[in-house]
Amino acid sequence: MCTKWDDEPELRIAAFEHCFVLLNRDQFFPGYTFVFTRSHVTELFHLSPQVRSAIMEEVNCVAAALFNAFSPAKINYELLGNMVPHMHWHLVPRFTDDPLWPRPIWSEPHEPVILSAEQYRERIGIIRTLLETQKNGA
């Protein structure tokens, strides 16, 4: 996570005060997005209430934008960190016609869905537009 922002500029969606927002390269679940903290922190309870709240507002803002962008049945919010402890949220729009619905995204392995550069740009553009709408409406 620590270098993902630098390593994958073509997947960048937004840079917030506390978090970076990056599209997952694997778009098997359309709109699957990472929100990860700028600081190398690991657990919510290591943060001050102010920073925790600010991070959660950023996570929330991205979730709302994904919901408005893709009209899924549900957003899944997952903060795991077993493999990569650096705090990162998996925000995954879930659709009733996705192959794993209604099970968690991890219940079955799948081949990654890789988009063209143009498709990534388009998808990121849609999310950015909704994030802007979100911000202006807040």
Structure tokens at 77: 């919010």
Residue recorded with tokens 């997947």 = 11
- State the Cα–Cα distance between residues 71 and 54, nearest whole angstrom: 25
Beta-carbon contacts of residue 90 (< 8 Å; ≥ 6 apart): 24, 32, 34, 76, 77, 78, 79, 80, 105
Structure tokens at 55: 């991070």
Binding of a copy of itself at residue 102 (CB under 8 A)? yes
Binding of a copy of itself at residue 101 (CB under 8 A)? yes
Report 2-41 residues binding a copy of itself (CB under 8 A): none
Query: Angle CA(132)–CA(92)–CA(41) in degrees, nearest 5?
Result: 80
Q: Which of 5, 28, 77, 120 binds a copy of itself (CB under 8 A)?
A: 77
Provide, rounded to whole angstroms, the least separation between the CB of residue 68 and a copy of itself.
9
Binding of a copy of itself at residue 131 (CB under 8 A)? no
Of 10 and 44, the one with the shorter C-beta distance to a copy of itself is: 44
CB-CB neighbours of 26 under 10 Å: 13
Contact segment (CB under 8 A) with a copy of itself among 18-26, 105-113, 115-123, 124-132 equals 105-113
Are the C-beta atoms of 123 and 31 separated by less than 8 Å? yes
Number of residues that bind a copy of itself (CB under 8 A): 35
Q: Which of 6, 9, 48, 83 binds a copy of itself (CB under 8 A)?
A: 83
Q: Which residues bind a copy of itself (CB under 8 A)?
A: 42-45, 49, 52-53, 56-57, 59-61, 63-64, 67, 73-83, 85, 94, 101-107
